[in-house]
């Protein structure tokens, strides 16, 4: 029973990390039809930022900025020419991801590095270790921030308009280019924050992003495109499913089980938990 309960914070904190990563993906995908494989490398950039700075709290805003600016550059330099061609962006950004990983290898060396956890995160309450709690707190803060941005600010409402109907939004005078840039910046920044969070539960290496990007995309698939609610639910569910599948079977079968569950879920909800309705015939 204790072992069973111990999986809970593990699953929740993985879900929290997945959520921070998936928020950016679900909005860039939903809003611009872009699949950004280099998103994983923004996580890695965030993690290395924490490594370079040595401190957890100061690293959070810096990692957000670093990853955000990387995302902004990628969006302006390449991705914006590929809007609405998700498959092409997938391959393009994979090339970017390869280059960034190799760059990290050249800058920081191929072996993993460890970021020392701050002493105030040692210990925990009951079954909840402080470091995992902290990660969950980060995700909650991230979701609240995104929610406030989307529903309470003018720019955020414009973002939602673009997600729902880009052409209509553009013709009603919204500068879609600016909205896109901002979405990319925030989404990539959150991935950087996720990277900082990951230093609390494991080592940092050039391929860090590749371990999470696939699962984060599954969150997008299961949650529904551009859906905040969906992303939250799917991320938590996937995090828990991952950790309990490992617990009940063994680590090697866990991913297969997760995959099977997702396919089964798509039989009931083929477009994810929440769907934006559209009348477009493709």
Partner 1 sequence: MIKRHLPFATVAVIALVAAPLLLEPFRLGLLAKYLCYAIVALGIGLAWGQGGMLTLGQGVFFGLGGYSMAMYLKLNEAGPGGLPDFMVWSGVEKLPALWAPFASPVFAVGMAVLGPVLLAVLLGTLVFRQRVRGAYFAILTQALAAAMVILLVGQQGLTGGTNGMTNFFELFGQDLADDSTQRGLYLVVASVLGILYLATRQLVHSRYGRLLVAVRDGEDRVRFLGYDPALVKTVTFAASAGMAGLAGALFVPVVGIISPALLGVVPSLELVVAVAVGGRHALAGAVLGAVVMGYAKTAFSEQFADGWLYLQGALFILVMTLAPKGIVGVVGRLRRARTT
Ligand X SMILES: Nc1ncnc2c1ncn2[C@@H]1O[C@H](COP(=O)(O)OP(=O)(O)OP(=O)(O)O)[C@@H](O)[C@H]1O
Q: Which residues bind ligand X (CB under 6 A)?
A: 277, 279
Minimum CB distance to partner 1, residue 33 (Å) = 8
The one among 57, 73, 99, 107 contacting partner 1 by CB under 8 A:
99
Residue nearest to ligand X (CB): 279
**Closer CB to ligand X, 14 or 161, in the complex:** 161
Interface mask (CB under 8 A) for partner 1, residues 192-231, using x and -? ------------------x---xx-xx-xx----------
Q: Of 39, 8, 45, 11, nearest to 26 (Cα)?
A: 39
Interface mask (CB under 8 A) for partner 1, residues 237-266, using x and -? -------------xxxxxxx-xx--xx--x
99 touches, from ligand X, partner 1, none (C-beta below 5 to 8 Å by class) = partner 1
CA distance linking residue 225 with residue 213, whole number of Å: 16
Minimum CB distance to ligand X, residue 280 (Å) = 10
The one among 88, 164, 170, 181 contacting partner 1 by CB under 8 A:
88
CB contact at 8 A, 237 and 222: yes
279 touches, from ligand X, partner 1, none (C-beta below 5 to 8 Å by class) = ligand X
| Burial readout 38-47 (b: 16 or more C-beta within 10 A, e: otherwise) | bbbbbbbbbb
**Closer CB to partner 1, 5 or 275, in the complex:** 275
96 binds partner 1 (CB under 8 A): yes
The one among 87, 107, 140, 168 contacting partner 1 by CB under 8 A:
87
96 touches, from ligand X, partner 1, none (C-beta below 5 to 8 Å by class) = partner 1
């Amino acid at each position: 029973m204790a072992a069973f309960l111990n999986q809970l914070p593990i699953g929740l904190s993985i879900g929290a990390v997945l959520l921070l990563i998936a928020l950016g993906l679900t909005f860039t995908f939903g809003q611009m039809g872009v699949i950004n494989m280099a998103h994983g490398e923004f996580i890695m950039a965030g993690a290395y930022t924490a490594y370079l700075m040595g401190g957890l709290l100061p690293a959070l805003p810096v990692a957000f900025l670093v990853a955000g600016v990387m995302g902004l550059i990628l969006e302006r330099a390449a991705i914006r020419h590929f809007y609405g061609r998700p498959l092409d962006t997938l391959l393009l950004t994979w090339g970017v991801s390869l280059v960034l990983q190799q760059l990290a290898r050249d800058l920081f060396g191929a072996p993993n590095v460890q970021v020392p956890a701050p002493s105030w995160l040692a210990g925990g309450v009951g079954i909840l270790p402080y470091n995992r709690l902290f990660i969950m707190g980060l995700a909650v803060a991230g979701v609240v921030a995104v929610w406030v941005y989307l529903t309470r600010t003018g720019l955020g409402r414009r973002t939602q308009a673009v997600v729902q109907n880009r052409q209509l939004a553009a013709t009603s005078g919204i500068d879609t280019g600016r909205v896109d840039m901002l979405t990319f910046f925030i989404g990539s920044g959150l991935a950087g924050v996720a990277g900082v969070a990951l230093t609390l539960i494991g080592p940092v290496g050039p391929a860090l992003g590749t371990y999470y990007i696939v699962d984060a995309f599954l969150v997008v698939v299961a949650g529904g495109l551009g859906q905040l609610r969906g992303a939250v639910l799917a991320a938590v569910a996937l995090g828990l499913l991952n950790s309990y599948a490992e617990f009940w079977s063994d680590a090697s079968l866990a991913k297969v089980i997760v995959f099977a569950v997702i396919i089964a879920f798509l039989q009931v909800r083929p477009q994810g938990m929440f769907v934006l309705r559209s009348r477009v015939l493709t």
